[in-house]
Amino acid sequence: MVSKIEMIKKEVAKVVVGQEKMIDSMLIALLCDGHILIEGVPGLAKTTTVNALAKTLGLGFKRAQFTPDLLPSDILGAEIYDPQNNSFKIKKGPIFTNLLLADEINRAPAKVQSALLEVMQEKQVTLGDTTFKIDLPFFVMATQNPVEQEGVYQLPEAQLDRFMLKLIVGYNTKEEELEIARRISGGTNEEIHSVITPEDLRELKQKVKEVHVDAEVEAYMIELINASRNPKEYGLDEIAGYIQFGASPRVSIDMFKAVKAMAFLRGKDFVTPVDVAYVAKELMRHRIVLTYEAEAEGITSDAIIQKVLETVAIP
């Protein structure tokens, strides 16, 4: 069954060069029914990757460009008056799809961002007096540009907590960028084909749930999360003043799911501490709230998580 994963990656690689971490993170979120927030400068193939993934899986894909004048109804849909029948009818928005790309989500105000909360958590949308279930699988990939500061709205903690993973995407290597330039200029990108069915995807998800996690590894994950909340108990007095709030309870739930998916992607049927370390920052970086002192001194949540990983004993 892991060969299906390799087939997916091979198809996506037809149009995406490098960015293995981004592809792995998308697959983890998809296999765990989670959502992903990707931060990176423009031009790093964020849109291309999610579009390619949708085609590979044979799923519906829609893109919503977030702007300051966007309204919740532009994303969810609305009741529209039909004068011919003297009645209202429902016009569904782009949220009704399998993979939704919320592009530059931090450009839209809070009321639009919060419109996604119900559908991300409950997999349903309420329009007027009617509640609609979203077709599964449903996966939100949101992007935000960290460079621009004008006309952007920082995502509140409650919104960030709905994302299973937050990935920070960097530039490609020189060799990869050379290959990208050659492909685009020569028009040599291949056509992407659907390689798995919805039934295959359901089987993959079931296989992920069957991955074994030893009790000691489970305890290790809880220790990591607790160390972010109570650093002094672990001798981490040096970072205690930088943490306002530690990782939320959703981290433990998501971590137990994500490490299984990570092990599965590596072709294993059991989880090791290496799998935990590989996804720890993506799971926790957006769920740790830092103090003003940390921001003033340039301390990042990644640095906090790294210190926790180095301190908590590995089973």
Q: CATH 3.40.50.300 in the chain, residues?
A: 2-186
* Amino acid in position 85: N
**Model pTM?**
0.85
Inter-CA distances, 140 with 2, 22, 134, Å: 24, 14, 12
pLDDT per residue of the chain (315 residues) written in tens, 0 to 9: 457 888 888 888 777 777 788 888 888 998 898 899 988 777 777 777 888 888 888 888 888 888 888 888 888 888 787 787 777 778 888 888 888 888 888 888 878 877 787 788 888 888 777 788 888 888 888 888 776 655 567 777 777 888 899 988 877 778 877 877 877 777 666 777 788 888 888 888 899 999 998 999 999 999 999 998 988 888 888 888 888 888 888 899 999 999 999 999 888 889 999 999 999 999 998 888 888 888 888 888 888 899 988 888 888
**How many degrees, rounded to 5, is the angle at CA 161 between CA 156 and CA 165?**
120
**How many degrees, rounded to 5, is the angle at CA 177 between CA 283 and CA 277?**
20
Fold of the CATH domain 2-186: Rossmann fold (3.40.50)
> In CATH, what is the architecture of 211-311?
Orthogonal Bundle (1.10)
Contacts of 179 (CB under 8 A, 6+ apart): 17
